């Protein structure tokens, strides 16, 4: 396989965006072209989960490739639920690694706020098992609530630990101009004060309002290329060194031990093995904290901490910027936002920003190895990426 590098990155603000989905995608793509100075790419992949349902639009990649004047380049839309972004990066990687193309653009984009919150929640619920979960009214918050309760009972995680994730990621997002939520929060305000019950109401017991990510619009882009192309770009050389992917039962209740996220474990191991690295080598990571509990559990399953010890490391500050392994310096899904199809690409955008040393106030010092975990379904299809800085 040929080596593959990330040569360009672009992103939109994550928020409620009042312009069409095609424009959101194209904006992120144009920012990435500007970042690396290219004018054309050989192929386009667009990661998107819901445009057919939410935005009355199929063939999104064809619309974007035309709108960006990239025709006659080929284009496909890649869907893997909330892990669509990293799945699309994998396809972009394969197209170059194989020798078929020299440059691929991977855009993730989603416009979820075109519909109201209830419709958006139902849309996301369509990723659950159609016959064993969805038709009984399961939603992602409900699955996450049940999962969190089991985790609390088994491993001693408390509501205070969950809130610590939110406080950390909101603080990080304050330093990210593209983040959806620029709202400093404290344990006092969302947990300890008399007003906490009002500020932070229960959503899906034991998950409260600030344990869940917002519903966001947004787009992100990475441009991938061969080593030959990368060497002509005046940017630090960031290699996409490892890709891992694994699936698990589609219905959560089919798992022997529902608190084990085996797809996260498997995908992370593959990604590290391919890169020839270990979890301890990682300097900065973006994990998929659609719910606060997930950051804690993923930090264990990918191998940063032992199973059941993630919340202890969190307490000690090890996952903060400046800590042993900074997690979600971008603010994460929790505070940066979660336009589902864009998320995996946005995670890669943050890691490349960090490895280039372009992260400003939220820069993790001397970051040379970065890692992302993009969590599809409720852990049924997970893609992990490992990035390394070469110069």
- Binding interface with a copy of itself (CB under 8 A): 1, 20-22, 49-50, 52-53, 55-63, 65-67, 70-81, 87, 90-91, 94-95, 97-100, 123, 126-127, 129-131, 134, 243, 245-251, 254, 262-263, 266, 376-377, 380-381, 383
The most distant pair of C-alpha atoms in the chain lies apart, rounded to whole Å, by 61
Spatial distance between the Cα atoms of 46 and 69, rounded to a whole number of angstroms = 15
| Smaller CB separation from a copy of itself, 127 or 230 | 127
| Smaller CB separation from a copy of itself, 57 or 199 | 57
Strands 369-376 and 381-389: antiparallel
| CA proximity to 297, closest of 354, 252, 346 | 252
Strands 217-226 and 4-11: antiparallel
| Smaller CB separation from a copy of itself, 60 or 163 | 60
Task: Count CB atoms within 10 A of the CB of residue 67.
Answer: 16
- Contact between 221 and 11 under an 8 Å Cβ cutoff? The reply is yes
Taking the complex as a whole, the smallest distance from the CB of residue 148 to a copy of itself amounts, in Å, to 21
Taking the complex as a whole, the smallest distance from the CB of residue 8 to a copy of itself amounts, in Å, to 20
Taking the complex as a whole, the smallest distance from the CB of residue 375 to a copy of itself amounts, in Å, to 12
| Smaller CB separation from a copy of itself, 56 or 198 | 56
Spatial distance between the Cα atoms of 375 and 300, rounded to a whole number of angstroms = 14
Spatial distance between the Cα atoms of 81 and 382, rounded to a whole number of angstroms = 10
Name the helix (H) or strand (E) containing 301. helix 292-301
Taking the complex as a whole, the smallest distance from the CB of residue 332 to a copy of itself amounts, in Å, to 21
- Contact between 27 and 42 under an 8 Å Cβ cutoff? The reply is no
| Smaller CB separation from a copy of itself, 33 or 325 | 33
| Smaller CB separation from a copy of itself, 13 or 249 | 249
Taking the complex as a whole, the smallest distance from the CB of residue 139 to a copy of itself amounts, in Å, to 13
Strands 207-208 and 202-204: antiparallel
| Smaller CB separation from a copy of itself, 60 or 342 | 60
Spatial distance between the Cα atoms of 309 and 255, rounded to a whole number of angstroms = 22
Taking the complex as a whole, the smallest distance from the CB of residue 336 to a copy of itself amounts, in Å, to 22
Helices (H), 180-261: 187, 196-199, 227-230
Taking the complex as a whole, the smallest distance from the CB of residue 368 to a copy of itself amounts, in Å, to 25
């Amino acid at each position: 396989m040929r080596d593959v590098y990330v040569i360009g990155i672009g992103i939109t603000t994550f928020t409620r965006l009042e312009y069409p989905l095609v424009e959101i995608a194209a904006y992120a793509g144009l920012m990435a072209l500007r970042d690396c100075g290219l004018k054309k790419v050989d192929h386009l992949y667009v990661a998107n989960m819901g445009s057919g349902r939410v935005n009355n639009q199929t063939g999104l990649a064809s619309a974007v490739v035309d709108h960006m004047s990239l025709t006659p380049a080929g284009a496909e839309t890649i869907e893997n639920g909330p892990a669509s972004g990293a799945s699309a990066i994998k396809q972009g990687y394969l197209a170059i690694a194989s020798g078929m193309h020299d440059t691929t653009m991977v855009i993730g984009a989603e416009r979820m706020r075109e519909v109201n919150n209830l419709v958006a929640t139902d849309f996301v619920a369509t990723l659950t098992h159609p016959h064993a979960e969805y038709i009984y009214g399961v939603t992602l918050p409900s699955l996450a609530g049940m999962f969190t309760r089991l985790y609390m009972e088994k491993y001693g995680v408390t509501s205070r630990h969950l809130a610590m994730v939110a406080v950390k990621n909101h603080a990080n997002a304050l330093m990210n101009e593209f983040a959806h939520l620029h709202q400093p929060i404290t344990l006092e305000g969302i947990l300890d004060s008399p007003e906490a019950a009002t500020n932070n109401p229960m959503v899906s017991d034991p998950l409260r309002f600030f344990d869940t990510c917002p519903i966001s619009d947004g787009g992100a882009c990475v441009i991938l290329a061969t080593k030959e192309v990368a060497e002509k770009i005046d940017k630090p050389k960031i290699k996409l060194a490892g890709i891992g992917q694994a699936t698990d039962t589609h219905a959560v209740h089919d798992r022997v031990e529902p608190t084990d996220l085996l797809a996260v474990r498997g995908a992370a191991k593959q990604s590290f093995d391919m890169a020839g690295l270990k979890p301890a080598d990682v300097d900065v990571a973006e994990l998929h904290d659609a719910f606060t509990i997930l950051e804690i559990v993923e930090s264990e399953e990918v191998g940063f901490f032992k199973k059941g010890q993630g919340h202890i490391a969190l307490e000690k500050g090890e996952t903060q910027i400046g800590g042993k392994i900074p997690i979600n310096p971008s603010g994460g899904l929790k505070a940066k936002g979660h336009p589902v199809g864009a998320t995996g690409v946005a995670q890669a955008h943050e890691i490349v920003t960090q490895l280039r040393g372009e992260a400003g106030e939220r820069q993790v010092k001397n970051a040379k190895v970065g890692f992302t975990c993009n969590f599809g379904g409720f852990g049924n299809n997970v893609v992990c990426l490992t990035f390394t800085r070469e110069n």
